[in-house]
Every structure is written in C-alpha cells, then in structure tokens.
Structure 1
Amino acid sequence: MIQGHDLRPLVVHVVFRFDVGGLENGVANLINHMPPDAYRHAVVSLTEITDFRRRILRQDVQFIALKKAPGHTFWLYPRLFALFRELRPAIVHSRNLAALEAVVPAWAAGVPVRIHGEHGRDVGDLDGSSRKYQWVRRCYRPFVTHYMALSRDLAHYLTSTIGFSQATVAQIYNGVDTRRFHPAPLRPPIAGCPFADPGYWLVGTVGRMQVVKNQTALAQAFIRTLAAFPDLESRLRLVMVGDGPLRVQAQALLQRAGVAGLAWLPGERDDVPEILRGLDCFVLPSLSEGISNTILEAMASGLPVIATDVGGNGELIEAGRTGELVRVADVEAMAQKIAAYAMSPLLARTVGQAGRIRAEREFSMEAMSERYQGLYDSLLKSRAGQSGSKALICR
C-alpha cells in the first residue's frame, strides 16, 4: 500500500523462501545499498520469511510470507493478484525458477514492469539441459518484461539455449561489501574454533551444506591432501561452516579417515566476516553456481580461492592470479591446489591480495546498486513512454 504521499516507485522482490542463502543475501545487499530516495521495497516470500530479514537494515521495507504449501503456485494466484493490486508496485522482480510463476498474477494485476532474475541452477538441473525447465521458461515469456542474469554464463543460457532476445536480457554481477568483508593484518582466531594457534594453516568454506554445494568433496580433498603430503598434518586444519544434510556426511567421511580431530564443523554461524578473516584459504566445491556471494566475500577478505569451474565462478576468479579453478568433483586436483597454497603461505597471501584488489575494483556494492537502479529506471522510463506516466502505478 502506498505510504501517505510517498511517490517513490515500489519494487516487490518475490522469492521462494527468504532465508540464509546467496540469492537472498543479494536481495538484502541490493536493498541496503540502493539510495533510499530512489525506490521503496517489499519482500514477498511464497513460503517463509525467517530471521534473515534482519540482514535488511532499512526500516521502510515490508515483509510478506504467503506460507505456500507444496505444489503448483497456481493456487496462490488469487492472493498474489490481490496483493499486487493492494501494493500497486511499479516493478515486480521475481528470482529463480521457483518464483517465476509470480509474473502471471503481476501481469494480470497490471504491474507495469515484471523482471525475472536468473541467479543459478539447483541440483535438479545443474547444466541447464532439462527440456522441462527450458519449456517452463519459454511458457512464461509473455508475462516477463525483462530478464536479469547474474553471470555471463546464465545470460548466454537465456539467449542461446532458451532463445530469448539479447535486448530483453541484462547481466549484472553481485556486489560485495568491501567494508564489512576485509582482510586482517594478522589472522585473528575464530570464536569457538579449536585451531587458534597461529602456527595452523586453515582451509575452509562457508555456506548451506546442501547437495548442490558438494562440501563432501572438500572433506575428501582434505583427507587426500593429508595422505599425499603427510608433513602438512601438523598444521593443516579444515573449517566447514554451515548446516544441512551434507554436514553429517562430511563428518562421517572425516571420522572414517581418522582426521575428524583436525576439522571443525560448527554448523550455521552469523559471524561470517570474522570467520573468513580467520581463514588462510577458501574453497567452494559446488556442482553449480550463478555468481557466488561467498567467493566475492572471500576475495574481499583477502583469501586465495579454490573453486570448481562451474557457472560464473570462472568470471570471478582469475586462475593463477586470484585463485584456482578445478573440475567438478576433481578431489585430486583440489587436494593439489590446497597443498600448493599450504606449503607456500607467501604465495597464498599474494594471491589473496590480488583477489581483494579485484573485488574492490570490479565488484563493489556501489557498482551493483547503480546497475540495478539504472535497469529499473530505464525500464520504467520505457514503459512510461509506451503507456503514459500513469503506467508507473497499477490501477
């Protein structure tokens, strides 16, 4: 609902679930860093909104959870239609396939601009080859004004594989808060971590421990590193922060290998910047990615990054300069890269410093928010030119 005489256009961000995750973190970062006089914002979750909402610092943001039951979003169409008619947004911005259906009631409610964002693929369609999901995207094309892809890889998928016009697809990288995520002059101990001795060399990862993130590959690579380079056993330690089904599996792998005492898996934490500053190297073993927030955060924290060469990872990491890329599930290659950095801490620091410089230069929050605001402004201006200025608010 329009607040008094507030004439700022409203953007409604539609997600499947507003909880800890890279997509959701990107929404929070955008809202926090876009100039408050430009747009109002609301977050609509088809399912739930958790305490993660506290990551959004602005006080004028509305949060709405629709508590969707499993199944087709079609049953939510009347509620979404009524909600969009009440809120009268200038823009509805849905994110990822699970929220795409929201563009239909947005179109029916007369929302002038309907943007759909592609943030990455999940385990059900890691390489984008699913004919079903390709068909779904084409089916909803008439209801989408414009598409936004986080990576060049995803933009190419939309234009080449799906067949959308390049004129309807924008590509905008995530940004990273380089003030919140920054290096420490000396590696500080991580609160609660048993590996506080500065003589240890800590390799680690942070994120949801779900199948698509494949953290068990990192556990296997750690085991392989110790087996191939036994001299590292006295100082190489593993930190895996996050919760989910793979946490138990990773713990079991480490236990069977007899190295569980050399690893720390504390579960979910809310002090990620401090954790990253307490590492010496960051590893992302994902099966699929869009543009990884955690890679950007690790780069901003001055860490060398080892990641699988999937999605947009190769667009963030300059192999050999700011980190290294390995094939998916290539445990041996991952182990070799970990060992190379662990045995040459000076090289690791030099690579991490190069990543920090790249994060500051190319992936700032200011650049991201300016690009989004420019996209929003241009689409609204184009729509106003087609339909008159009244099209900016639903009637």
Structure 2
Amino acid sequence: MQEAPPLVVHLIYRLDFGGLESLLVERINRMCATRYRHAVVCLTDYTAFADKIRRQGVTLHALHKQPGLSPGTHLALWSLLRRLNPTIIHTYNLSAIEYAPVALLAGVPVRINGAHGRDHHDPHGLNARHNLLRRLMLPFYDCYYANSAAMVKWHSDVIGVPSAKSRLLSNGIDTARFRPREHGDAPAPGPFGDGCIVIGSVGRIQQVKDHATLLEAFILLRQQLPEQRARLRLAIVGDGPLLPALRARAAQAGLEREVWLPGSRADVAEILRGFHVFAMASIAEGTPGAALEAMASALPVAATRVGGIPEVIEDGVTGALAPPSDPQALADALARYVAAPGLAAQHGQAGRARVLRHYAMDAMVAAYLGLYDQLCEQKHQTRKPEKTCVE
C-alpha cells in the first residue's frame, strides 16, 4: 500500500474573506496532491469562504478560541495534532505564533511561521510585548518567513531572526483570472453605469486597511474636481467589523448613490474590470495581494507608502504613493489619474507587466513547495523529490 503524502496543518486565526486567506486557499488548490496533504485549523472559526478550497481531502477544524490567553485552546490543539499527526505545522502571523511549543510537544517535526503583515494595533512592529513573544518563539520554529523584503529586514533587525531561518516568499497572482477588460466581456458587476469614473478598493473592512481615510479622500476629490463630480464613484468591496460605520459615514455625506459598499463578493476579478483606478489606504501591509490583483487587471494604483507597498508599486510608473492617514494626499494621487486617463492607462499596463514578470502564481506555489521540501529533508521526513510539482 502506497504511503500517504506528508500532512501540512495550516494554523490560522479565522478562515474568512481576505488576502492572506485567498492565497492560502490558492496554494492548497494548486499544490500537487501527491506531494502534500493539507488540513486547515482555525483558532476561532471559518465561514463560507472555506468553500473555495477545491482540493479533495482537505479537512477543516475550528477550535472556537475565546478572547484572551485561552489555555484550553492549547490543549485542544495538542489533542488535534496528536490525532492528525502532521509533518508540518504552518502558522500565520502573530495571532498563531505562540502555538509552536504545543506543536513540538505533539511531535510535529517541522514548524513554520509566516508574517503576512501587521494589524492596526501595531502597524510598525514596535509593540515590545509582541516582539518579545516573537523572540521567545523563535527557537521553536525552523523558519520565520515574510512576504515582503521590508518585513524580512525587520525580522532580522528587530527580532533577531538568523539568515538560516529567514526566507522571503512573495505573493502570487492568477493572471488569467485577474486580467484587463476585453472586448466582448459582460458589463462589470455593480450599480454604476457607463460614463462613470470608478475608484475602487477590495479588502476586509478593518482598521489596518483604513477605508475611512479612503472615503474622506473621495469626498475631497469630489470637491477638488467639480467638473468630474457627477461622474465620480467609489466602490469598496469587502466585509468586516467597520462596514456599518463606513456605510453610516457615506450616508452622512449624502453619498449613498455614489459609494457602493456591497460587502464580500465572490466575483472580485469581474468587479475589478469595472474600476478605472484602484485605491489602497492601509496603515500597514506586507505584500499587498489586492494591489497585485488590481495591477494584473491593468489598473493604476493609488496607495499609501507603508510596509511592502513600495516594493510592489513603483511611484510614477505603476501607481502613485501617498503618506498614510492623509486624505488630502490620497485625493491628490487619485486626482492625477482622474484628470489624465492616458496616464492611468499607461501606469495600468506597466503594472500588469510587472506582475507578469515578478508575481506569477506558479512561482509562488513552487517557492512554498520548495520550503516544505527543504525543511522536511533537513528533518529526514521525506526523500528529495525528482521535480517541483505544481498543478
């Protein structure tokens, strides 16, 4: 009887609509089934987003962690890991980093933590207690990787991650799905008709994404360009805890018809093809998957100069960068594209070309597969494969 491939347990806070989660699902779906099996363990819970996992045999588990220390979650995870018997545990971000000792006690040979960005409580990585936790967990992990060069450098300078344990793993984009609008395409989903200039954003509605600043920038933009005011529209696609407040602010400004806040959508690629400019007002980011999707769709990107965003968006070439939490600066960046459609198209095409060169989906999946292979070989868990396998 053929031995089953090694099992990777992905430990995540919650499986819901989001950039990190989308890329996790893409890797699971695309990684060769004969090389690794997968299970997703959610510290809290998962939503219908889990239906995007198409790979057969992937199991989902929810530990229903309560706020705070929740020592019972550690015991529940230990028991689950003993039952699943994985070869690799792959934890994501600070919210799951503390569970490496549990994995070690459960006998999991390979332990990996990925930094995919920071939250609004600590956008610059200055929280001493959080950084102490990262340092304390470092001996329990075989690899601390990040998805931006800025985060890799921060790992080295602040946390003290040695080069042998460090890795840069860039995000990848499905450039067949995320593509420019073509002749014969159906009208883009949404309430806006022909003749509108649509500024759009996609992302979970939470403080780290700072959609409130984007909405204020849109209000300023309408004042700044009165000749275009009747055509200007704003779409912010995504769900999250701050969505009701954002809708209330749009209503207060009398912009219910001009601002579209539909919540989560499964047709993001089609929606992007109806945008003219993509906007991102984040106060912290790793490698911004939403911006890469927009660039693959040939959209210019007006974004904040934080985290890994400047690594992806070249100011004046593929987009325009502005300081964070500055509505006027973001409005000025957007105004450049609204006033000059030719410049918007030029930067959009340059952005797609950059994604095609540097952020291919297959390259991302192969890089993660290579990391798994390398660490398993170091721990004598598997023989060296003959070739990389990506589906």
- TM-score bucket (shorter structure): over 0.9
2:199 maps to which residue? Answer: 203
TM-score normalized by structure 1? 0.92
Structure 1 counterpart SS, 2:260 = strand
Q: Is the 8 A contact 1:14 1:46 kept in 2?
A: yes
Does 2:100 align with 1:103?
Answer: yes
Shift of 1:389: 6.2
C-alpha offsets along residues 74-127 of structure 1, whole Å, 9 cap, x if unaligned? 322222222222222111001111111221111012211100111111011111
**1:8-19 counterparts in 2 under 5 A?**
8-19=5-16
How many residues in Structure 1 have an aligned counterpart in Structure 2? 382
**1:101-180 counterparts in 2 under 5 A?**
101-180=98-177
1:181 maps to which residue? Answer: 178
**1:230-269 counterparts in 2 under 5 A?**
230-269=226-265
2:332 maps to which residue? Answer: 336
Structure 1: how far apart are the matches of 2:239 and 2:19? 14
Does 2:68 align with 1:63?
Answer: no
TM-score normalized by structure 2? 0.93
1:347 maps to which residue? Answer: 343
Does 2:210 align with 1:214?
Answer: yes
Structure 2 counterpart SS, 1:290 = coil
Amino acid in structure 1 at the alignment position of 2:200: G
Structure 2 counterpart SS, 1:161 = helix
Structure with greater helix percent: 1
Does 2:28 align with 1:31?
Answer: yes
Match of 1:42 among 34, 39, 43: 39
Q: Is the 8 A contact 2:288 2:309 kept in 1?
A: yes
Amino acid in structure 1 at the alignment position of 2:42: S
Shift of 1:146: 1.1
Structure 1 counterpart SS, 2:98 = helix
Amino acid in structure 2 at the alignment position of 1:51: A
- Are residues 245 and 78 of structure 1, via their aligned partners in 2, closer, same or farther at CA, if it must alter by over 3 Å? closer
- Are residues 289 and 78 of structure 1, via their aligned partners in 2, closer, same or farther at CA, if it must alter by over 3 Å? same
Structure 1: how far apart are the matches of 2:66 and 2:362? 37
Does 2:88 align with 1:72?
Answer: no
Shift of 1:268: 2.1
2:270 maps to which residue? Answer: 274
Does 2:361 align with 1:365?
Answer: yes
Structure 2: how far apart are the matches of 1:96 and 1:225? 35
Q: Is the 8 A contact 1:190 1:196 kept in 2?
A: no
Q: Is the 8 A contact 1:296 1:359 kept in 2?
A: yes
CA RMSD in angstroms comes to 1.7
Match of 1:84 among 63, 73, 81: 81
Amino acid in structure 2 at the alignment position of 1:172: L
1:393 maps to which residue? Answer: none
Amino acid in structure 1 at the alignment position of 2:163: Q
C-alpha offsets along residues 254-288 of structure 1, whole Å, 9 cap, x if unaligned? 33434443222222222111111111110010111
C-alpha offsets along residues 28-50 of structure 1, whole Å, 9 cap, x if unaligned? 01111222222111111111021
Q: Is the 8 A contact 1:92 1:115 kept in 2?
A: yes
Structure 1: how far apart are the matches of 2:22 and 2:263? 18
Shift of 1:339: 1.3
Q: Which moved more, 1:79-88 or 1:273-282?
A: 79-88
* Long gaps (5+) in structure 2: 384-391
* Long gaps (5+) in structure 1: 391-395
